[in-house]
Amino acid sequence: MTDATPTYDEFSLFHENAAEAGLPFDGPPVVRREFLEVAPGRRVSALVWGHGPPELVLLHGGGQNAHTWDTVALALDRPLVAVDLPGHGHSDWPQESAWLDPARMADDVATVIARLAPEAAGVVGMSLGGATSIALATRHPELVRRLLLVDITPGVNGDKTSDIAAFLSGPETFATFDEILQRTIDFNPTRSESSLRRGVLHNSVQLPDGTWAWRHQVGRPSADTGLHVERTDFRTLWDALGTIAVPVLLARGSRSPVVDDDDVAEFLRRRPDDEVIVVEDSGHSIQGDKPRELAAIIEEFVGGP
């Protein structure tokens, strides 16, 4: 690595995603960033891909942002919306002390979907985005026609996410871009440096004093409302999951500790008519480890355009 300050254009890196995944690339995709007011003085941002009405909604995990779906979106090659959850990416930081409450986050996301993708054929939610999407499907059922959960169930707890918590609870700022990138590499030894560099570029910002910080507020030690993964308890969502009236698919990473066999058994007990798919050689972030495989799962589950 070189300790040079990188230049950043969030729409200039798609060719790297395509090349790394072995996808065809005939030129930059049509992508725009939108900002929608979800409460007075507070906005949620989203990436809108393609022409025409969006057919899918993608919700990322805690500490991530909408760009985590870039390779999946390129593989899908269909209109969709990838949302920056509140407190992440370019979305404003909520003021409520319980900002991580999936119900509150679902209400914000519902405002975005109602404006940008009201007829979407399916919602895909990974980790925190999956918990939010369970609440979304119960509080705003008219917006969810199919639900794909990416390596998340209400059985998630601090023991299962201890590595994630350790990563997110790191320094509040970093002296250089190389420092924030190196920490990311250290916690993601199976991912390529180029993919992690893209992720850090999308997920960090250089402060006026020259230091670097994450765009999200998750796990920051000084943030009173920041998420500490080990404190998050989504078990109350089991009952909500059981009441969802549309098909639900669970995609589980074979190397991820976040969803275990007991979680799968409980998922199938609550939803005996639904399915669990195991994505081999994938960790928790299936969209990063196996984006083409996940895109194929989405296509099969939601159906063609």
Active site residues: 127, 151, 284
Count Cα neighbours of 97 within 13 Å in the Cβ-side half-sphere.
1
Measured in degrees and rounded to the nearest 5, phi and psi for residue 282 equal: -120, 145
- Residue 101 contacts residue 208 (beta carbons within 8 Å): no
At residue 210, the 3 state secondary structure works out as coil
Neighbour-count burial of 89, counting CB atoms closer than 10 A to its CB (0-12 exposed, 13-18 middle, 19+ buried): buried
Q: Which two tokens stand for residue 143?
A: 């917006």
Is residue 191 helix, strand or coil?
Answer: coil
267: phi > 0 → left, psi -120 to 50 → alpha, else beta; which? alpha
| Chain centre to alpha carbon of residue 47 | 12
CA distance 256 to 184: 17
Spell out the SS3 assignment of 34-57: EEEEEECCEEEEEEEECCCCCCEE
How many helices (H) and strands (E) the chain has is answered by 11, 10
Within 66-181, strands assigned E span 80-83, 122-126, 147-150
Backbone angles phi, psi at 250, to 5 degrees: -110, 120
**Which spans in 244-290 are helix H?**
261-270, 286-289
Structure tokens at 255: 């190397």
Distance CA 124, CA 58 (A): 5
